[in-house]
Amino acid sequence: MSTLRAVQIALVLCIAGLAVQLLTSLFWSPISFILFASVGVTLVVCGTLVFIWTVLRELRHTGAL
């Protein structure tokens, strides 16, 4: 997978997670809080992890690590 594609995937995951968080924040209730934490935050964390993995892979590829 190219670096560009990996970064795009990371961004899409972050956008999806933030969108879930935004929607659940607009309709705040016990169930929306659960969705905020379990779906929204998880998607953002996944996006960040994909980005970190991409950066590490790039650094190793260029010999910086």
Binding stretches for other proteins (CB under 8 A)? 3-4, 7-8, 10-12, 14-15, 17-19, 21-22, 25-26, 28-31, 33-34, 36-37, 40-41, 44-45, 47-48, 51-52, 55
| Three-state SS annotation for the chain | CCHHHHHHHHHHHHHHHHHHHHHHHHCCCHHHHHHHHHHHHHHHHHHHHHHHHHHHHHHHHCCCC
- Beta carbon of residue 2, minimum distance to other proteins (angstroms, whole number): 10
- Beta carbon of residue 31, minimum distance to other proteins (angstroms, whole number): 6
Nearer to other proteins, 1 or 29 (CB): 29
Nearer to other proteins, 19 or 65 (CB): 19
| Residue 22 to residue 59: CA distance in whole angstroms | 34
